[in-house]
Amino acid sequence: MVTGVPEPGPTQPTPRPGRVPTRRPEPGPQPLVVVDARGLRCPLPVIRLAQRAGECPAGAVLEVLATDPAARADIPAWCRMKAQEFLGAQDHTGPDGEHTAYHVRLVG
């Protein structure tokens, strides 16, 4: 180590002016799996989540994209019932419309 020179370490990207940085969960060793349930009504977003969760290993992080307002209650409830970790939700508005991204880490 050279005196006066900071050691390299993790850095946070600097957001561009006018943009709000989005927080995504740390996926760890498993890739982020996207479940696109936009346009589907209850109970289909949770059914799609359960189907993909059955195909993924423990530790995987799933991102469920949904437009159905019922998913805001249904996805956290599914996580509690199945003992999975609900990491949070983020609302998004873009050229393809509004949706919410729900993040779930599979525990086992």
**In the numeric block, which tokens belong to residue 26?**
């740390």
Residue 68 lies in a domain: yes
Domains: count for the chain: 1
Contact 37, 74 (CB under 8 A): no
For 49-80, write each residue's pLDDT tens digit.
999 999 999 999 999 999 999 999 999 999 99
Q: Where are the beta strands (DSSP E) in 1-108?
A: 32-37, 61-66, 85-94, 97-105
Q: Structural domain of residue 89, as residue ranges?
A: 32-105
Contact in structure between 37 and 44 (CB atoms under 8 Å): yes
pTM score of the predicted model: 0.72
- Kindly tell me the burial class for residue 86, based on how many C-beta atoms sit within 10 Å of its own C-beta (0-12, 13-18, 19 or more): middle
Is residue 85 a part of any domain in this protein?
yes
Rounded Cα–Cα distance for residues 24 and 91 (Å): 12
- The answer to whether residue 13 is domain-embedded is no
Among 15-19, 34-38, 87-91, the least confident range: 15-19
Question: Is residue 3 domain-resident?
Answer: no
Q: Is residue 10 part of a domain?
A: no
Active site residue 42: yes
- Can you tell me the distance from the alpha carbon of 48 to that of 71, in angstroms, rounded to the nearest whole number? 12
Residue 97, domain member (yes or no): yes
Q: Does a structural domain hold residue 83?
A: yes
**CATH label of the domain that carries residue 65:** 3.30.110.40
Catalytic residue among 27, 30, 42, 50: 42
Domain assignment present for 12: no
Structure-token pair, residue 25: 């969960």
